Amino acid sequence: MSVKVYVDGQAGTTGLKIIDRLNGRNDIELLKIADEDRHNNEARREMMAQADFTFLCLPDAASIEAVELAKGTNTRILDASTAHRTNPDWAYGFPELSPAFREKIVNSDRTAVPGCYASGFLSMLYPMVHSGLLPADFPVFAYATSGYSGAGKNAIAVYEGAEKPEEFNSPRQYALSQHHKHLPEMQLFAGLTYPPMFNPIVCDYFSGMVVSVPIQTRMLDKKITLAEVNGMFREHYAGAKLVQVNPLMTDEEQGKFFLASNTLSGQNKLEIFTFGNDEQILLCARLDNLGKGASGAAVQCLNIMMGIDETTGLL
């Protein structure tokens, strides 16, 4: 028996990728709204009323309005915007972080899909803080390189246009005021006392990202080792199907290795790396910002809410 799924925001990048992942599944009936009705609230609400599950792939304000629009229907909502990620009434859609997160997704009618940068960051910082290897008040700094697909339709058009400005050929730092929209969820779910400093960098390739967190271990109250950190990650993610912890590399192997940001483009998994040495540890998470960082994570949460294998349609 199939369930009915409606994607509100089906023409956006995330919405299109969700539809791509659901097309062809015999357990899903996709409800498609006519293009001319995409902004018709009456038609949208009718779709929600028919749907067992509704994905919201909308700007924040529109997402909040859509949740109001859905009131009185029985549809279960998965929101891919930032609007509800720190709302305690919503499940946070990163099941690998803890059994409690997974259980809340299973039982919730409202699931907030994590942000792409936040997914990479939290995959490392949640285990580090909750294992006790990193104190909650540690001054955390993170930087990230990302493809331009997460920058929105207008930016994509510039990157792929015939008159692309010269500076778009270079990596570009942004959110320099330290008010990036993912910071609240990064701090909250990592369990940090203070917001991390975050330096995102958009680059001239389509999709994929690496989020990196350097740690100077001399700043810690107790000594930790690179092997201890890697072992903690391997234990934390034991059995995870979409999160992979890579083994330690020797100094020689690290010296020859280049960590590309687009390797997982089009895939739905996330990789964790532990580089450096016992004095200077570099944590890195690689993922596709449109996969495990957006639409892949959304479909994973849908599968969990449906009570089926979470990797259905994703591997």
Which active-site residues does the annotation give? 116
d(CA 79, CA 196): 24
Phi, psi of 36 (to 5 degrees): -70, -10
Alpha-carbon gap, residue 184 to 127, rounded angstroms: 18
- Contacts of residue 58, Cβ cutoff 8 Å, sequence gap at least 6: 8, 9, 12, 66, 80, 81
Dihedrals φ, ψ of 106, to 5°?
-55, -45
Contact between residue 117 and residue 182 where contact means Cβ atoms under 8 Å apart: yes
Supply angle C-alpha 183, 84, 12, rounded to 5.
90
Strands 141-146, 197-202: parallel, antiparallel or unpaired by DSSP? parallel
CB atoms within 10 A of CB 11: 13
In angstroms, how far apart are the furthest CA atoms of the chain?
Answer: 62
Give the C-alpha separation, 210 to 203, whole Å.
Answer: 11
Angle at the Cα of 154 from the Cα atoms of 149 and 158, rounded to 5 degrees: 80
Q: Which of 169, 255, 166, 259 is nearest to 209 (CA)?
A: 259
Say which DSSP state 246 is in: P
Residue with tokens 């259905």: 312
